[in-house]
């Protein structure tokens, strides 16, 4: 631990003088650097040279990229003419700009019939819109997760009906006590 000396005027003036000298030296060094301009360290130049030597030399493909016209990202793109969805007809040119297919008039009419609190209106409309899959509602896949199952109904054929009609036999014997769960057919007993 350092000696505790009493703070005398000589000690205070010595510390003040040391502080002033240090401050003056730092300010003069700062001004010299400002006058000479920005200086990069030698280490940066060595690193840059190593990178240039390690990089592959540009070939003809790189030259074509350099010679290509500059892309203008802020350029205004031509837009299709504004047409109302209600006035556009299915199969028209307007349909090529849309991602979704047109909503059927019957389903669209549900929006204007009743309110959501009564399980009508918007509530019923949204419920009806969830029934068909995205491959029915959209022209193309909007996201990559739709790749699985897209147009699945077209790829899987429906099972053929039995030749000798055994469905009634199964329905009458197997489901005789409880009825058929999906159908509104009650049991015969």
Q: CB under 8 Å to 58, separation ≥6 — which residues?
A: 66
> Phi, psi at residue 100, to the nearest 5°?
-100, 150
Assess whether 108 and 149 both reside in one domain: yes
Q: Is the pLDDT of residue 130 over 80?
A: yes
With pLDDT > 90 as the criterion, what percentage of the chain qualifies?
13
Assess whether 133 and 103 both reside in one domain: yes
Assigned token pair, 92: 């028209």
The pLDDT assigned to 127 comes to 92
CA distance 76 to 111: 37
Assess whether 114 and 134 both reside in one domain: yes
185 within a domain of the structure (yes/no)? yes
Query: Do 121 and 127 contact (CB within 8 A), yes or no?
Result: no
122 within a domain of the structure (yes/no)? yes
Assess whether 176 and 164 both reside in one domain: yes
Assess whether 127 and 146 both reside in one domain: yes
118 within a domain of the structure (yes/no)? yes
Q: Could you report the per-residue pLDDT of 11-66, keeping only the tens digit for each?
A: 889 999 999 999 999 999 888 888 877 766 778 888 888 888 888 777 787 777 77
Assess whether 99 and 150 both reside in one domain: yes
Domain that holds residue 149: 93-155
33 within a domain of the structure (yes/no)? no
- Give the confidence band of 171 by pLDDT, cuts at 50, 70, 90: low
Assess whether 131 and 145 both reside in one domain: yes
Assess whether 143 and 164 both reside in one domain: no
Query: Do 96 and 134 contact (CB within 8 A), yes or no?
Result: no
Report helix, strand and coil shares of the chain as percent, to nearest 5: 50, 0, 50
Q: CB under 8 Å to 135, separation ≥6 — which residues?
A: 146, 149, 150, 151, 152, 153
174 within a domain of the structure (yes/no)? yes
40 within a domain of the structure (yes/no)? no
| Number of domains observed in the structure of the chain | 2
Mean pLDDT of the chain: 76
Average pLDDT rounded to a whole number, residues 64-76: 72
87 within a domain of the structure (yes/no)? no
97 within a domain of the structure (yes/no)? yes
With pLDDT > 70 as the criterion, what percentage of the chain qualifies?
68
Average pLDDT rounded to a whole number, residues 115-143: 87
């Amino acid at each position: 631990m350092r000696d505790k000396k009493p703070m005398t005027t000589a000690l205070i003036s010595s510390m003040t003088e040391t502080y002033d000298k240090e401050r003056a030296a730092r300010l003069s060094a700062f001004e010299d650097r400002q006058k000479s301009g920005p200086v990069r360290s030698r280490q940066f130049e060595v690193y840059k040279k190593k990178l240039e030597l390690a990089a592959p030399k540009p070939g003809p493909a790189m030259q074509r990229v350099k010679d290509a016209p500059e892309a203008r990202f802020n350029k205004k793109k031509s837009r299709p003419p504004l047409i109302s969805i209600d006035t556009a007809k299915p199969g028209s040119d307007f349909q090529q700009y849309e991602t979704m297919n047109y909503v059927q008039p019957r389903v669209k009419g549900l929006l204007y019939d009743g309110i959501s609190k009564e399980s009508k209106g918007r509530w019923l409309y949204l419920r009806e819109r969830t029934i068909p899959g995205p491959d029915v509602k959209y022209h193309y896949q909007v996201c990559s997760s739709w790749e699985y199952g897209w147009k699945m109904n077209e790829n899987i054929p429906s099972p053929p009906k039995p030749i000798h009609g055994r469905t009634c036999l199964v329905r009458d014997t197997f489901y005789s006590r409880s009825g058929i769960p999906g159908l509104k057919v009650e049991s015969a007993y």
